[in-house]
Structure 1
Amino acid sequence: MRASFASNPTSPLNRIDVRVKMLIAAAASIMTVAISSEVAQYLLFASSFVYLLLLKRPKIIAVSYCVCILMIALSVGFGYLISIWFPAMGKSMSLASMLVPFLRGFTMLNVVLPLAFTGRLQTILSGLQKLRLPFVIYLPSAVIIRFIPTFMNDIRQIWESLKIRGYKINPWTCTIHPLQTTRLLFTPLLFRALKTSDELGIAAELKGLNSGSSAGRANAASFSRNDYLIILLIVLICAAAAVLQFYFPNSAPAAMK
Protein backbone atom coordinates (compact mmCIF):
# COMPACT_ATOMS: atom_id res chain seq x y z
CA MET A 1 0.00 0.00 0.00
CA ARG A 2 1.03 3.65 0.25
CA ALA A 3 4.42 4.50 1.67
CA SER A 4 2.83 6.56 4.45
CA PHE A 5 1.52 3.35 5.95
CA ALA A 6 4.98 1.87 6.41
CA SER A 7 5.69 1.05 10.03
CA ASN A 8 8.55 2.62 11.91
CA PRO A 9 11.62 0.55 10.93
CA THR A 10 12.97 0.90 14.47
CA SER A 11 9.86 -0.64 16.02
CA PRO A 12 10.55 -4.06 17.57
CA LEU A 13 7.05 -5.13 16.51
CA ASN A 14 8.37 -5.57 12.97
CA ARG A 15 10.33 -8.59 14.18
CA ILE A 16 7.25 -10.31 15.62
CA ASP A 17 5.45 -12.86 13.49
CA VAL A 18 2.08 -11.61 12.27
CA ARG A 19 0.41 -14.73 13.69
CA VAL A 20 1.66 -13.81 17.16
CA LYS A 21 0.18 -10.32 16.80
CA MET A 22 -3.10 -11.92 15.73
CA LEU A 23 -2.91 -14.16 18.79
CA ILE A 24 -2.42 -11.10 21.00
CA ALA A 25 -5.51 -9.45 19.50
CA ALA A 26 -7.57 -12.64 19.88
CA ALA A 27 -6.46 -13.18 23.49
CA ALA A 28 -7.22 -9.55 24.34
CA SER A 29 -10.70 -9.76 22.83
CA ILE A 30 -11.49 -12.91 24.82
CA MET A 31 -10.06 -11.68 28.11
CA THR A 32 -11.69 -8.25 27.96
CA VAL A 33 -15.09 -9.90 27.60
CA ALA A 34 -14.48 -12.68 30.13
CA ILE A 35 -12.93 -10.42 32.78
CA SER A 36 -15.16 -8.00 34.70
CA SER A 37 -12.80 -7.07 37.52
CA GLU A 38 -11.59 -3.48 37.41
CA VAL A 39 -8.17 -4.45 38.77
CA ALA A 40 -7.78 -7.15 36.12
CA GLN A 41 -8.86 -4.70 33.43
CA TYR A 42 -6.18 -2.30 34.64
CA LEU A 43 -3.60 -5.05 34.14
CA LEU A 44 -4.84 -5.82 30.63
CA PHE A 45 -4.89 -2.14 29.71
CA ALA A 46 -1.40 -1.45 31.11
CA SER A 47 0.08 -4.48 29.35
CA SER A 48 -1.58 -3.63 26.04
CA PHE A 49 -0.51 0.02 26.32
CA VAL A 50 3.13 -0.97 26.72
CA TYR A 51 2.67 -3.16 23.66
CA LEU A 52 1.19 -0.20 21.78
CA LEU A 53 4.11 2.07 22.71
CA LEU A 54 6.46 -0.36 20.96
CA LEU A 55 4.82 0.77 17.71
CA LYS A 56 6.77 4.04 18.04
CA ARG A 57 4.11 6.07 16.22
CA PRO A 58 3.23 8.72 18.86
CA LYS A 59 1.13 10.86 16.50
CA ILE A 60 -1.09 7.95 15.48
CA ILE A 61 -1.46 6.89 19.10
CA ALA A 62 -2.36 10.41 20.21
CA VAL A 63 -4.94 10.91 17.44
CA SER A 64 -6.52 7.49 18.10
CA TYR A 65 -6.83 8.19 21.81
CA CYS A 66 -8.27 11.66 21.19
CA VAL A 67 -10.95 10.17 18.93
CA CYS A 68 -11.80 7.49 21.51
CA ILE A 69 -11.95 10.03 24.33
CA LEU A 70 -14.25 12.21 22.21
CA MET A 71 -16.55 9.25 21.58
CA ILE A 72 -16.56 8.43 25.30
CA ALA A 73 -17.40 12.04 26.16
CA LEU A 74 -20.29 11.99 23.68
CA SER A 75 -21.65 8.72 25.08
CA VAL A 76 -21.42 9.98 28.66
CA GLY A 77 -23.08 13.25 27.66
CA PHE A 78 -25.98 11.53 25.94
CA GLY A 79 -26.26 9.15 28.89
CA TYR A 80 -26.55 12.12 31.21
CA LEU A 81 -29.25 13.67 29.05
CA ILE A 82 -31.19 10.41 29.05
CA SER A 83 -30.92 10.24 32.85
CA ILE A 84 -32.62 13.64 33.10
CA TRP A 85 -35.80 12.30 31.43
CA PHE A 86 -35.46 8.78 32.90
CA PRO A 87 -33.99 9.11 36.43
CA ALA A 88 -34.18 5.34 36.95
CA MET A 89 -31.59 4.82 34.22
CA GLY A 90 -29.34 7.46 35.72
CA LYS A 91 -28.93 5.41 38.90
CA SER A 92 -26.99 2.78 36.96
CA MET A 93 -24.58 5.34 35.44
CA SER A 94 -21.93 5.04 38.14
CA LEU A 95 -18.21 5.39 37.53
CA ALA A 96 -17.67 1.68 38.17
CA SER A 97 -20.31 0.63 35.67
CA MET A 98 -18.81 2.79 32.90
CA LEU A 99 -15.12 2.29 33.68
CA VAL A 100 -14.84 -1.38 32.71
CA PRO A 101 -16.50 -1.01 29.26
CA PHE A 102 -14.24 1.95 28.45
CA LEU A 103 -11.14 0.04 29.59
CA ARG A 104 -12.18 -2.82 27.33
CA GLY A 105 -12.39 -0.45 24.37
CA PHE A 106 -8.96 1.06 25.05
CA THR A 107 -7.40 -2.37 25.48
CA MET A 108 -8.70 -3.49 22.09
CA LEU A 109 -7.46 -0.25 20.54
CA ASN A 110 -4.01 -0.95 21.98
CA VAL A 111 -3.76 -4.37 20.34
CA VAL A 112 -5.42 -3.57 17.00
CA LEU A 113 -3.25 -0.57 16.07
CA PRO A 114 0.06 -2.50 16.14
CA LEU A 115 -1.49 -5.22 13.99
CA ALA A 116 -2.82 -2.67 11.51
CA PHE A 117 0.29 -0.51 11.25
CA THR A 118 2.95 -3.24 11.10
CA GLY A 119 3.16 -5.51 8.12
CA ARG A 120 2.00 -5.25 4.55
CA LEU A 121 -1.24 -6.64 3.14
CA GLN A 122 0.64 -9.62 1.69
CA THR A 123 2.13 -10.42 5.10
CA ILE A 124 -1.24 -10.32 6.84
CA LEU A 125 -2.89 -12.46 4.16
CA SER A 126 -0.08 -15.01 4.29
CA GLY A 127 -0.25 -15.15 8.07
CA LEU A 128 -4.00 -15.76 8.01
CA GLN A 129 -3.59 -18.44 5.36
CA LYS A 130 -0.91 -20.17 7.44
CA LEU A 131 -3.53 -20.53 10.17
CA ARG A 132 -5.58 -22.62 7.69
CA LEU A 133 -8.53 -20.27 7.95
CA PRO A 134 -11.23 -20.36 5.25
CA PHE A 135 -10.97 -17.88 2.41
CA VAL A 136 -14.22 -16.17 3.46
CA ILE A 137 -12.61 -15.38 6.82
CA TYR A 138 -9.01 -14.46 6.13
CA LEU A 139 -9.56 -12.18 3.12
CA PRO A 140 -12.18 -9.89 4.76
CA SER A 141 -10.12 -9.92 7.97
CA ALA A 142 -6.99 -8.75 6.16
CA VAL A 143 -8.93 -6.03 4.32
CA ILE A 144 -10.46 -4.80 7.60
CA ILE A 145 -7.07 -4.68 9.31
CA ARG A 146 -5.42 -2.76 6.48
CA PHE A 147 -8.46 -0.50 6.15
CA ILE A 148 -7.57 1.25 9.41
CA PRO A 149 -4.30 2.94 8.31
CA THR A 150 -5.66 3.53 4.81
CA PHE A 151 -8.74 5.31 6.14
CA MET A 152 -6.66 7.40 8.54
CA ASN A 153 -4.55 8.54 5.62
CA ASP A 154 -7.74 9.46 3.71
CA ILE A 155 -8.89 11.58 6.64
CA ARG A 156 -5.55 13.39 6.67
CA GLN A 157 -5.74 14.12 2.94
CA ILE A 158 -9.31 15.43 3.12
CA TRP A 159 -8.44 17.54 6.16
CA GLU A 160 -5.46 19.08 4.37
CA SER A 161 -7.52 19.76 1.23
CA LEU A 162 -10.11 21.63 3.32
CA LYS A 163 -7.37 23.73 4.93
CA ILE A 164 -6.00 24.62 1.48
CA ARG A 165 -9.47 25.70 0.36
CA GLY A 166 -9.82 27.89 3.45
CA TYR A 167 -12.40 25.84 5.37
CA LYS A 168 -12.01 25.44 9.12
CA ILE A 169 -13.48 22.26 10.57
CA ASN A 170 -13.62 22.18 14.35
CA PRO A 171 -16.17 21.16 17.01
CA TRP A 172 -17.75 24.65 16.94
CA THR A 173 -18.27 24.74 13.16
CA CYS A 174 -19.53 21.14 13.22
CA THR A 175 -22.17 22.21 15.76
CA ILE A 176 -23.40 25.41 14.12
CA HIS A 177 -23.01 24.23 10.50
CA PRO A 178 -23.90 20.52 10.48
CA LEU A 179 -24.98 20.45 6.83
CA GLN A 180 -21.78 22.13 5.67
CA THR A 181 -19.71 19.72 7.75
CA THR A 182 -21.55 16.76 6.22
CA ARG A 183 -20.98 18.06 2.70
CA LEU A 184 -17.31 18.97 3.17
CA LEU A 185 -16.10 16.22 5.49
CA PHE A 186 -18.37 13.22 5.98
CA THR A 187 -19.53 12.81 2.39
CA PRO A 188 -15.95 12.72 0.99
CA LEU A 189 -14.98 10.30 3.75
CA LEU A 190 -17.83 7.98 2.79
CA PHE A 191 -16.78 7.85 -0.85
CA ARG A 192 -13.11 7.47 0.08
CA ALA A 193 -14.00 4.57 2.36
CA LEU A 194 -15.86 2.81 -0.47
CA LYS A 195 -12.97 3.39 -2.86
CA THR A 196 -10.43 2.19 -0.30
CA SER A 197 -12.30 -1.05 0.32
CA ASP A 198 -12.34 -1.72 -3.44
CA GLU A 199 -8.62 -0.98 -3.73
CA LEU A 200 -7.75 -3.33 -0.88
CA GLY A 201 -9.85 -6.13 -2.38
CA ILE A 202 -8.28 -5.62 -5.81
CA ALA A 203 -4.81 -5.59 -4.24
CA ALA A 204 -5.49 -8.98 -2.69
CA GLU A 205 -6.70 -10.38 -6.02
CA LEU A 206 -3.65 -9.01 -7.86
CA LYS A 207 -1.41 -10.83 -5.42
CA GLY A 208 -2.89 -14.08 -6.72
CA LEU A 209 -5.06 -14.78 -3.69
CA ASN A 210 -8.46 -16.30 -4.30
CA SER A 211 -10.68 -18.99 -2.86
CA GLY A 212 -8.60 -21.77 -4.44
CA SER A 213 -5.17 -20.27 -3.89
CA SER A 214 -2.57 -21.79 -1.62
CA ALA A 215 -0.29 -18.75 -1.73
CA GLY A 216 1.50 -18.10 1.53
CA ARG A 217 1.26 -21.68 2.76
CA ALA A 218 4.23 -23.18 0.94
CA ASN A 219 6.97 -21.35 2.83
CA ALA A 220 5.40 -20.99 6.24
CA ALA A 221 8.07 -19.48 8.49
CA SER A 222 8.43 -21.04 11.91
CA PHE A 223 8.22 -19.02 15.10
CA SER A 224 11.44 -17.55 16.44
CA ARG A 225 12.59 -17.69 20.02
CA ASN A 226 11.20 -14.19 20.64
CA ASP A 227 7.82 -15.27 19.31
CA TYR A 228 7.66 -18.16 21.78
CA LEU A 229 8.69 -15.86 24.62
CA ILE A 230 5.91 -13.45 23.70
CA ILE A 231 3.37 -16.28 23.61
CA LEU A 232 4.55 -17.32 27.08
CA LEU A 233 4.18 -13.73 28.27
CA ILE A 234 0.63 -13.64 26.88
CA VAL A 235 -0.25 -16.77 28.82
CA LEU A 236 1.21 -15.31 32.03
CA ILE A 237 -0.69 -12.04 31.65
CA CYS A 238 -3.96 -13.87 30.98
CA ALA A 239 -3.34 -16.10 34.01
CA ALA A 240 -2.57 -13.07 36.20
CA ALA A 241 -5.77 -11.38 35.00
CA ALA A 242 -7.75 -14.52 35.88
CA VAL A 243 -6.21 -14.56 39.37
CA LEU A 244 -7.06 -10.89 39.87
CA GLN A 245 -10.60 -11.61 38.72
CA PHE A 246 -10.85 -14.28 41.42
CA TYR A 247 -9.40 -12.23 44.29
CA PHE A 248 -10.80 -8.82 43.29
CA PRO A 249 -14.27 -9.41 41.85
CA ASN A 250 -15.76 -6.46 40.06
CA SER A 251 -18.09 -4.09 41.91
CA ALA A 252 -19.79 -2.82 38.72
CA PRO A 253 -22.66 -5.33 38.78
CA ALA A 254 -23.48 -4.38 42.34
CA ALA A 255 -23.41 -0.71 41.47
CA MET A 256 -25.78 -1.22 38.58
CA LYS A 257 -28.47 -2.89 40.63
Structure 2
Amino acid sequence: MQASSASKFDVLTRLDVRSKMLIAALAAVMTIALSSLNSQLLLFTTSLLYLFALGRYKLIFVSYAASLLMMALSVGFASVLALFIPSMGKSLELSSLCIPFLRALTVMNTILPMAFTGRLQNILNGLQQLKLPFIIYLPAAVIIRFIPTFAGDVKQIWESLKIRGFKINPWQCTIHPIRTTRLLFTPLLFRALKTSDELGIAAELKGLHAGSNSGSMHRRRFGKHDIAAITLVLLICTGAVLLQIYFPTDIKAAMR
Protein backbone atom coordinates (compact mmCIF):
# COMPACT_ATOMS: atom_id res chain seq x y z
CA MET A 1 0.00 0.00 0.00
CA GLN A 2 2.80 2.40 0.82
CA ALA A 3 4.54 1.74 -2.46
CA SER A 4 1.36 2.20 -4.46
CA SER A 5 0.44 5.43 -2.72
CA ALA A 6 3.91 6.94 -2.93
CA SER A 7 4.06 10.10 -4.94
CA LYS A 8 5.85 10.09 -8.24
CA PHE A 9 7.72 13.20 -7.11
CA ASP A 10 8.39 11.96 -3.57
CA VAL A 11 11.75 13.70 -3.34
CA LEU A 12 10.36 17.09 -4.30
CA THR A 13 6.98 16.86 -2.58
CA ARG A 14 8.73 16.46 0.77
CA LEU A 15 10.20 19.93 0.38
CA ASP A 16 8.26 22.94 1.55
CA VAL A 17 7.22 25.33 -1.19
CA ARG A 18 9.31 28.05 0.47
CA SER A 19 12.40 25.88 0.10
CA LYS A 20 11.76 25.52 -3.63
CA MET A 21 11.23 29.27 -3.90
CA LEU A 22 14.50 29.90 -2.09
CA ILE A 23 16.32 27.48 -4.42
CA ALA A 24 14.89 29.26 -7.48
CA ALA A 25 15.73 32.69 -6.06
CA LEU A 26 19.30 31.72 -5.21
CA ALA A 27 19.78 30.20 -8.65
CA ALA A 28 18.58 33.42 -10.30
CA VAL A 29 20.83 35.61 -8.15
CA MET A 30 23.91 33.42 -8.57
CA THR A 31 23.57 33.14 -12.34
CA ILE A 32 23.48 36.94 -12.58
CA ALA A 33 26.25 37.58 -10.04
CA LEU A 34 28.75 35.07 -11.45
CA SER A 35 30.37 35.28 -14.87
CA SER A 36 32.90 32.44 -14.75
CA LEU A 37 32.27 29.54 -17.11
CA ASN A 38 33.27 27.07 -14.38
CA SER A 39 30.75 28.58 -11.95
CA GLN A 40 27.97 28.55 -14.53
CA LEU A 41 28.68 24.92 -15.42
CA LEU A 42 28.51 23.93 -11.74
CA LEU A 43 25.17 25.72 -11.29
CA PHE A 44 23.77 24.27 -14.50
CA THR A 45 24.84 20.70 -13.73
CA THR A 46 23.45 20.67 -10.19
CA SER A 47 20.22 22.38 -11.27
CA LEU A 48 19.81 19.78 -14.03
CA LEU A 49 20.07 16.98 -11.46
CA TYR A 50 17.45 18.83 -9.42
CA LEU A 51 15.20 18.97 -12.48
CA PHE A 52 15.65 15.23 -13.13
CA ALA A 53 14.24 14.58 -9.66
CA LEU A 54 10.92 15.75 -11.10
CA GLY A 55 10.71 12.46 -12.97
CA ARG A 56 8.87 13.89 -15.98
CA TYR A 57 11.41 13.24 -18.70
CA LYS A 58 9.07 14.04 -21.60
CA LEU A 59 8.41 17.45 -20.07
CA ILE A 60 12.15 18.00 -19.65
CA PHE A 61 12.80 17.05 -23.28
CA VAL A 62 10.06 19.36 -24.59
CA SER A 63 11.22 22.23 -22.36
CA TYR A 64 14.80 21.93 -23.55
CA ALA A 65 13.71 21.55 -27.17
CA ALA A 66 11.62 24.74 -26.91
CA SER A 67 14.45 26.59 -25.15
CA LEU A 68 17.02 25.54 -27.74
CA LEU A 69 14.62 26.51 -30.54
CA MET A 70 14.15 29.99 -29.08
CA MET A 71 17.91 30.33 -28.64
CA ALA A 72 18.46 29.27 -32.25
CA LEU A 73 15.88 31.81 -33.43
CA SER A 74 17.56 34.58 -31.44
CA VAL A 75 20.94 33.70 -32.93
CA GLY A 76 19.39 33.58 -36.41
CA PHE A 77 17.81 37.02 -36.14
CA ALA A 78 21.00 38.42 -34.62
CA SER A 79 22.98 36.95 -37.53
CA VAL A 80 20.72 38.78 -39.97
CA LEU A 81 21.25 42.03 -38.08
CA ALA A 82 25.01 41.39 -38.08
CA LEU A 83 24.94 41.62 -41.87
CA PHE A 84 23.92 45.27 -41.52
CA ILE A 85 25.74 45.97 -38.24
CA PRO A 86 29.09 44.13 -38.42
CA SER A 87 29.97 44.98 -34.82
CA MET A 88 27.22 42.61 -33.63
CA GLY A 89 29.05 39.67 -35.15
CA LYS A 90 31.48 39.50 -32.24
CA SER A 91 28.63 38.79 -29.80
CA LEU A 92 27.50 35.77 -31.86
CA GLU A 93 30.58 33.70 -31.10
CA LEU A 94 29.94 30.51 -29.12
CA SER A 95 32.14 31.73 -26.30
CA SER A 96 29.96 34.84 -25.90
CA LEU A 97 26.65 32.94 -26.10
CA CYS A 98 27.58 30.18 -23.68
CA ILE A 99 27.11 32.10 -20.42
CA PRO A 100 23.71 33.70 -21.25
CA PHE A 101 22.31 30.37 -22.42
CA LEU A 102 23.57 28.56 -19.31
CA ARG A 103 21.98 31.24 -17.13
CA ALA A 104 18.60 30.81 -18.80
CA LEU A 105 18.70 27.01 -18.57
CA THR A 106 19.74 27.07 -14.92
CA VAL A 107 16.79 29.28 -13.99
CA MET A 108 14.44 27.05 -15.96
CA ASN A 109 15.81 23.97 -14.18
CA THR A 110 14.84 25.41 -10.79
CA ILE A 111 11.47 26.88 -11.74
CA LEU A 112 9.92 23.78 -13.34
CA PRO A 113 10.14 21.57 -10.21
CA MET A 114 8.55 24.34 -8.14
CA ALA A 115 5.75 24.82 -10.65
CA PHE A 116 4.90 21.15 -11.23
CA THR A 117 5.01 19.92 -7.62
CA GLY A 118 3.11 22.65 -5.81
CA ARG A 119 -0.64 23.10 -5.41
CA LEU A 120 -2.05 26.60 -5.69
CA GLN A 121 -3.13 26.62 -2.04
CA ASN A 122 0.34 25.56 -0.82
CA ILE A 123 2.06 28.18 -2.98
CA LEU A 124 -0.26 30.91 -1.71
CA ASN A 125 0.26 29.85 1.89
CA GLY A 126 4.02 29.75 1.47
CA LEU A 127 4.17 33.18 -0.12
CA GLN A 128 1.87 34.62 2.52
CA GLN A 129 4.00 33.22 5.34
CA LEU A 130 6.95 35.10 3.86
CA LYS A 131 5.06 38.30 4.77
CA LEU A 132 4.96 39.47 1.18
CA PRO A 133 2.39 42.09 0.15
CA PHE A 134 -0.86 40.83 -1.31
CA ILE A 135 -0.20 42.52 -4.66
CA ILE A 136 3.03 40.49 -4.96
CA TYR A 137 2.23 37.02 -3.63
CA LEU A 138 -1.12 36.54 -5.42
CA PRO A 139 0.20 37.31 -8.95
CA ALA A 140 3.35 35.30 -8.18
CA ALA A 141 1.29 32.24 -7.21
CA VAL A 142 -0.84 32.56 -10.34
CA ILE A 143 2.27 32.84 -12.52
CA ILE A 144 3.84 29.74 -10.95
CA ARG A 145 0.69 27.65 -11.36
CA PHE A 146 0.16 29.00 -14.87
CA ILE A 147 3.13 27.00 -16.17
CA PRO A 148 1.77 23.45 -15.62
CA THR A 149 -1.78 24.52 -16.49
CA PHE A 150 -0.63 26.05 -19.77
CA ALA A 151 1.40 22.90 -20.51
CA GLY A 152 -1.82 20.89 -20.18
CA ASP A 153 -3.58 23.31 -22.56
CA VAL A 154 -0.82 22.87 -25.14
CA LYS A 155 -1.16 19.09 -24.92
CA GLN A 156 -4.93 19.29 -25.27
CA ILE A 157 -4.78 21.52 -28.37
CA TRP A 158 -2.04 19.34 -29.86
CA GLU A 159 -4.16 16.20 -29.41
CA SER A 160 -7.22 17.90 -30.91
CA LEU A 161 -5.23 18.84 -34.03
CA LYS A 162 -4.01 15.25 -34.40
CA ILE A 163 -7.59 13.97 -34.14
CA ARG A 164 -8.65 16.41 -36.87
CA GLY A 165 -5.82 15.16 -39.11
CA PHE A 166 -3.57 18.22 -39.03
CA LYS A 167 0.19 17.69 -38.88
CA ILE A 168 1.99 20.35 -36.87
CA ASN A 169 5.78 20.17 -37.08
CA PRO A 170 8.61 22.67 -37.66
CA TRP A 171 8.47 22.20 -41.43
CA GLN A 172 4.71 22.73 -41.62
CA CYS A 173 4.98 25.76 -39.34
CA THR A 174 7.57 27.26 -41.68
CA ILE A 175 5.77 26.73 -45.00
CA HIS A 176 2.26 27.41 -43.62
CA PRO A 177 2.67 30.22 -41.05
CA ILE A 178 -0.88 31.55 -41.43
CA ARG A 179 -2.47 28.13 -40.96
CA THR A 180 -0.21 27.46 -37.98
CA THR A 181 -1.24 30.75 -36.40
CA ARG A 182 -4.92 29.99 -36.92
CA LEU A 183 -4.80 26.37 -35.71
CA LEU A 184 -2.17 26.53 -32.96
CA PHE A 185 -1.17 29.96 -31.70
CA THR A 186 -4.60 31.58 -31.69
CA PRO A 187 -6.18 28.81 -29.57
CA LEU A 188 -3.16 28.92 -27.26
CA LEU A 189 -3.61 32.67 -26.78
CA PHE A 190 -7.27 32.34 -25.83
CA ARG A 191 -6.56 29.34 -23.58
CA ALA A 192 -3.82 31.32 -21.83
CA LEU A 193 -6.22 34.20 -21.15
CA LYS A 194 -8.89 31.83 -19.87
CA THR A 195 -6.41 29.95 -17.68
CA SER A 196 -5.17 33.14 -16.05
CA ASP A 197 -8.76 34.13 -15.24
CA GLU A 198 -9.52 30.69 -13.81
CA LEU A 199 -6.44 30.73 -11.57
CA GLY A 200 -7.33 34.19 -10.28
CA ILE A 201 -10.90 33.07 -9.56
CA ALA A 202 -9.60 29.94 -7.83
CA ALA A 203 -7.52 32.11 -5.51
CA GLU A 204 -10.55 34.27 -4.68
CA LEU A 205 -12.71 31.19 -4.01
CA LYS A 206 -10.13 30.03 -1.49
CA GLY A 207 -10.97 33.13 0.56
CA LEU A 208 -7.83 35.08 -0.27
CA HIS A 209 -7.97 38.83 -0.41
CA ALA A 210 -5.94 41.78 0.77
CA GLY A 211 -5.46 41.44 4.52
CA SER A 212 -6.41 37.76 4.55
CA ASN A 213 -4.64 35.54 7.11
CA SER A 214 -5.56 32.21 5.56
CA GLY A 215 -1.91 31.26 5.31
CA SER A 216 -1.56 31.34 9.08
CA MET A 217 -4.16 28.59 9.33
CA HIS A 218 -1.94 26.18 7.38
CA ARG A 219 1.49 26.97 8.75
CA ARG A 220 4.15 24.41 7.99
CA ARG A 221 7.57 24.34 9.55
CA PHE A 222 10.76 23.46 7.78
CA GLY A 223 11.56 19.76 8.13
CA LYS A 224 14.82 17.88 7.95
CA HIS A 225 14.51 17.54 4.18
CA ASP A 226 14.18 21.31 3.81
CA ILE A 227 17.19 21.96 6.02
CA ALA A 228 19.26 19.39 4.12
CA ALA A 229 18.23 20.81 0.73
CA ILE A 230 18.95 24.42 1.71
CA THR A 231 22.31 23.43 3.22
CA LEU A 232 23.25 21.60 0.02
CA VAL A 233 22.22 24.57 -2.11
CA LEU A 234 24.27 26.95 0.03
CA LEU A 235 27.30 24.66 -0.33
CA ILE A 236 26.84 24.63 -4.10
CA CYS A 237 26.57 28.42 -4.16
CA THR A 238 29.73 28.67 -2.05
CA GLY A 239 31.52 26.34 -4.44
CA ALA A 240 30.39 28.45 -7.40
CA VAL A 241 31.70 31.61 -5.73
CA LEU A 242 35.05 29.93 -5.01
CA LEU A 243 35.31 28.85 -8.64
CA GLN A 244 34.62 32.45 -9.65
CA ILE A 245 37.37 33.71 -7.35
CA TYR A 246 40.11 31.11 -7.87
CA PHE A 247 39.37 29.93 -11.42
CA PRO A 248 38.09 33.01 -13.28
CA THR A 249 38.75 31.35 -16.61
CA ASP A 250 38.31 33.62 -19.59
CA ILE A 251 35.36 32.37 -21.61
CA LYS A 252 37.06 32.72 -24.96
CA ALA A 253 40.13 30.86 -23.72
CA ALA A 254 37.99 28.07 -22.24
CA MET A 255 36.12 27.51 -25.51
CA ARG A 256 39.29 27.24 -27.61
8 Å CA contact 2:36–2:250 kept in 1: the answer is yes
Structure 2: tracts of 5 or more residues without a match: 1-5
Query: What is aligned with 1:164?
Result: 163
Q: What are the superposed Cα offsets for residues 174-210 of structure 1, whole Å, 9 maximum, x if unpaired?
A: 1111111111111110000000000000000001111
Query: What is aligned with 1:19?
Result: 18
Structure 1: tracts of 5 or more residues without a match: 1-6
Q: Secondary structure of 1:166's match?
A: coil
| Counterpart code for 2:155 | R
Offset, 1:250? 5.0
Query: What is aligned with 2:239?
Result: 240
Query: What is aligned with 2:33?
Result: 34
Offset, 1:60? 0.8
Distance 1:211 1:182 in 2: 39
| Identical-pair percentage | 61
Q: CA RMSD in A?
A: 1.7
Distance 2:182 2:148 in 1: 23
Query: What is aligned with 1:208?
Result: 207
Alignment map for 1:7-156 (pairs within 5 Å):
9-156=8-155
The number of residue pairs the alignment matches comes to 249
Offset, 1:92? 2.8
Distance 1:11 1:201 in 2: 28
Q: Structure 1 length as normaliser, TM-score?
A: 0.93
8 Å CA contact 2:125–2:218 kept in 1: the answer is no
Offset, 1:219? 3.8
Q: What are the superposed Cα offsets for residues 213-241 of structure 1, whole Å, 9 maximum, x if unpaired?
A: 10011341111112111111111111111
Offset, 1:248? 2.2
| Counterpart code for 1:131 | L
Offset, 1:252? 4.4
Q: Secondary structure of 1:217's match?
A: helix
8 Å CA contact 1:36–1:250 kept in 2: the answer is no
Q: Quick one: structure 1 residues 108 and 10, their matched pair in 2 at CA, closer, same or farther if it must change by over 3 Å?
A: closer
| Counterpart code for 1:24 | I
Offset, 1:253? 8.6
Deviates more, 1:71-80 or 1:119-128: 71-80
Q: Secondary structure of 2:47's match?
A: helix
Q: Secondary structure of 1:91's match?
A: helix
8 Å CA contact 1:8–1:55 kept in 2: the answer is no
Q: Structure 2 length as normaliser, TM-score?
A: 0.93
